[in-house]
């Protein structure tokens, strides 16, 4: 086996914390949020997450989100490729966004054996965990096939559940057919949303947000023992901490609490909560 220097690129919806990006030298290509006549890179600088979610309910029109241009992706991919033997790239699902295609076009100038492009099938730290697993295996083995295999195993053991505080934003976004189809009914209930293989589904439906949180915790505990865990929110840190308390002794050492990217939060709205689990079984 020839040990290869493998670097990683992900789109900004992966929500990987800055310290972990730095630790594993992971490059991020930002998506964009458009509102108020401007277009803002989701790079942690142009958009302040707390301020954005505070402002979102009073915006006169629903913000939109956009993929990075092929030119931007090409410039970042080319730069990263010049520093390594192989680039592994992961994106949000092609079924839900043009980001995958932007990466595909941006990488097209590289020889096919110099990169691997992976549709993660999911987003936020459910994608982020795949990237981190891949980076760890790359560091240990320098073997592209081992990296891809580990990412695929991890994906099979990841679960993502989220509960919007209001269905208004998901309905407005138009990204999920069932959210628009039953609008009148859905606005009166609180669905638990899951995302797997690029498909957003309503896993359970309850009458109150509190019950939705309890159900998410119940679903999460079905995935124990946890290898790692992410608790998600959109300007609802107290709710995320409450979920952590409810999960009790199941909470692993590697646990992240994340105010998610505005590119995702635009579609679920403020005060939402979510949980992402990675079961230890991926290591077998």
Give me the residue label for tokens 């993502």. Answer: 160
Of 249, 248, 253, 255, give the one whose Cα is nearest residue 229. Answer: 255
Residue 202 pLDDT = 77
Residue 187 pLDDT = 56
Residue 180 pLDDT = 45
269 within 8 A of 175, measured Cβ to Cβ: no
Q: How many residues does the chain have?
A: 284
Kindly give the confidence (pLDDT) of every residue in the chain, 284 residues in length, as a single tens digit, with 9 standing for 90 and above: 578 999 999 999 999 999 999 999 999 999 999 998 999 999 888 999 999 999 999 998 889 999 999 999 999 999 999 999 999 999 999 998 999 999 999 999 999 999 999 999 999 999 999 999 999 999 999 999 999 999 999 999 999 999 988 777 776 655 555 444 454 345 567 788 888 888 888 788 888 899 999 999 999 999 999 999 999 999 999 999 999 999 999 999 999 999 999 999 998 899 999 999 999 999 98
* DSSP letters for 148-176: HHHHHHHHHTEEEEEE-S-SHHHHHH---
| Domains delineated in the chain | 6-31+67-156 (3.40.50.10170), 158-283 (3.30.1180.10)
281 within 8 A of 130, measured Cβ to Cβ: no
Helix axes 237-247, 209-221, angle to 10 degrees: 40
Pair of tokens at residue 38: 């401007």
Residue 107 pLDDT = 97
Using alpha carbons, list the distances in angstroms from residue 160 to 32, 128, 134, 265, 270.
23, 12, 19, 15, 18
| Exposure class string for 113-126: b at 16+ Cβ within 10 A, else e | eebbbbbbbbbbbb
Residue 173 pLDDT = 58
The C-alpha atoms of residue 214 and residue 220 are separated, in whole angstroms, by 10
The whole model's pTM is what?
0.94
């Amino acid at each position: 086996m020839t040990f290869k220097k493998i670097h990683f690129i992900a789109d900004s919806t992966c929500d990987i914390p800055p310290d972990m990006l730095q630790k594993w030298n992971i490059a991020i290509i930002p998506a964009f949020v458009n509102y108020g006549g401007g277009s803002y890179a989701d790079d942690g600088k142009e958009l302040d997450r707390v301020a954005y979610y505070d402002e979102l309910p009073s915006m006169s029109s629903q913000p939109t989100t956009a993929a990075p241009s092929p030119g931007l992706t090409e410039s970042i991919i080319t730069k990263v490729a010049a520093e390594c033997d192989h680039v592994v790239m992961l994106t949000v699902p092609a079924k839900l966004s043009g980001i995958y295609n932007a990466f595909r076009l941006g990488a097209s100038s590289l020889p096919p054996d110099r990169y691997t492009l992976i549709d993660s099938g999911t987003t936020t730290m459910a994608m982020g965990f795949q990237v981190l697993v891949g980076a760890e295996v790359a560091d240990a083995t320098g073997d592209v096939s081992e990296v891809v295999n580990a990412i695929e195993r991890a994906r099979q053991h990841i679960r993502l559940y989220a509960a919007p505080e209001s269905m208004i934003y998901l309905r407005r976004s138009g990204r999920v057919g069932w959210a628009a189809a039953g609008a009148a009914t859905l606005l009166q209930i609180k669905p638990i949303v899951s995302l797997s293989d690029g498909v957003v589904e309503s896993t359970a439906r309850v009458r109150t947000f509190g019950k939705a949180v309890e159900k998410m915790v119940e679903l999460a505990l079905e995935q124990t023992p946890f290898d790692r865990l992410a608790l998600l929110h959109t300007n609802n840190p107290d709710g995320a901490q409450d979920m952590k308390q409810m999960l009790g002794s199941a909470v692993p050492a590697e646990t992240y609490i994340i105010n998610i990217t505005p590119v995702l939060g635009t579609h679920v709205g403020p005060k939402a909560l979510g949980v992402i689990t990675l079961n230890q079984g991926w290591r077998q």
